[in-house]
Chain A
């Protein structure tokens, strides 16, 4: 699939001296949902800000559907909808006027029918004449989403869209997002909830310390996660494994007190029974056994560990 947003060697150093992005390159494919995971201060918001024109990059380029986001900013920005992390709304205006304003700002002719569809989809229609300040936090976040959708973007950035949104609405929002994808909208979202990334994304990116640590398609990642580890605690530590057990590719852990066998849950036959038989045949006694399954969270923590959260 062709890239709709292409980020090349993007570096961002704030005036304060913070090196928030370090040589980030990333291609976002047309029509996909990409989830960006990363700890606080990783640079997720900064990356989005540089793409959308809120912060200017120190070096590097961004193109949106082939348009450079600095030289050809009009064409680039017209395609982008942005839902920021913070709730930044004019408090005294009504919901409808706020959304109308956004559409106009992006140069689109008035279309109240479209705005009605958007507000209904986000369960905001009955609040259309309320002042923004009279809404609850979760409703305000949905107003931000409505503003971004008001001008029919091709690419939608959602910076922690479900923070402060209750569980029922969170599921609804996931549905809204996949519905948008069906209509051809490319979606980039950041989140701290791994389940959210699992539920929605086609690809998952992990960013930490201003660097992209990994971008993988979710299916492949999940296949990897489908592997289970079978851990055998031994009566006494072994230094060397008998040659008869070579085929199992066992790993020694905990100073030889444990043996770890990795197998694929999707494969036919785990081979555990045979392994246990072969172990006792080799004179190794198991004191206890347990199974472990790594999750996205483990991978995430592995990647991010030692980076130091800021």
Chain B
């Protein structure tokens, strides 16, 4: 195991984040605050409570998920796409490091960044609403696993993409709708019958539900399903990455 290589990649990627700290930290905090103002204040004045939790507090887990998922994908996909784009990937390919180690370096760095943002948003939220966290350990488990699995997913997107448009395409056309329709700002039980059923095909529902449960003990789906979803998704991403690296797809001529 070339741990030194993992560490080298991790540090290099974290340095990139620190160089652009305003973008990395300030912008998610700003946009989350906007969400609080728009959803919490405007809509919250109409929907007072969801199952006993104030609407402002209800949307906090969903907001964190929204930021953490988007950030994980964009960080990790950019992290591996950029060396491909400028050609510096030659060094990764010629290094005595396995693909597993290379992936670990990039994915851990991307997950660290999005986790940091998640925590910052959580802290910001304390200033706006009255937050309780009933199951802090599960909260951390869900948060960390979401960061990791969507960073893995973003890494795949970055390898797949052959231009900058494609890099934006998956987050924009696939992930964004899934997140917004995934019960981020509402409980899916608030939807008319058939849409509630349709929502159950959206994997994000399970993540948001499990995460919200760790805060308020309320869930749209059973906790077991949420855990299965997050572990299943992580496993699937790992398997795909393994396959990509075995075949050298879109990496090695």
Contacts and interface: CB of A to CB of B under 8 A. Distances in A.
Contact of B4 (A56, A91, A92, A109): A109
B165 interface: no
B91 A102 contact: yes
Contacts of A53: 93-94, 252
Contacts of A74: 2, 96, 98
A278 interface: no
Among B4, B7, B94, which residue has the most Cβ atoms of chain A within 10 A?
Answer: B94
Contact of A56 (B12, B94, B95, B253): B253
B15 interface: yes
B94 A77 contact: yes
Interface of B: 2, 4-5, 7-9, 11-12, 15-16, 19, 82-83, 86-98, 248, 252-253
Interface stretch (A81-89, A236-244, A252-260, A262-270): A81-89
A14 interface: yes
Among B4, B248, B252, which residue has the most Cβ atoms of chain A within 10 A?
Answer: B4
B12 A101 contact: yes
A78 B90 CA distance: 15
A53 B102 CA distance: 15
Given A93-B12, A104-B8, A15 B253 contact: yes
21 contacts: A14-B253, A52-B93, A55-B253, A73-B96, A74-B2, A74-B96, A74-B98, A75-B96, A76-B96, A84-B87, A86-B87, A88-B88, A89-B88, A90-B12, A100-B8, A101-B11, A104-B4, A104-B7, A104-B8, A105-B4, A107-B97
A106 B4 CA distance: 8
Nearest to A147: B91
Given A52-B93, A88-B88, A106-B5, 14 more contacts: A53-B252, A54-B252, A56-B253, A74-B2, A74-B98, A75-B96, A80-B94, A90-B86, A101-B8, A103-B8, A105-B4, A105-B8, A105-B92, A107-B4
B7 A49 contact: no
Contacts of A102: 91
Contacts, number: 87
Nearest to A15: B253
Given A54-B253, A56-B252, A89-B86, A104 B93 contact: no
A97 interface: yes
A75 B15 CA distance: 29
Q: Which 10 A-B pairs have the closest CB atoms?
A: A104-B8, A88-B87, A55-B253, A77-B96, A74-B96, A52-B94, A78-B96, A105-B95, A107-B2, A88-B88
A92 B252 CA distance: 25
Interface in A142-177: 147
Contacts of B248: 56
A7 B7 CA distance: 33
Interface of A: 14-15, 49, 52-56, 73-78, 80, 82, 84, 86, 88-93, 97, 100-109, 147
B2 A108 contact: no
B81 to A, nearest CB: 13
A52 B9 CA distance: 20
A106 B90 CA distance: 13
Given A15-B253, A56-B252, A147-B91, A105 B15 contact: no
Contacts of B92: 105
Nearest to A48: B94
Contacts of B89: 88
A92 B16 contact: yes
Contacts of B19: 92
Contacts of A78: 96
B90 A97 contact: no
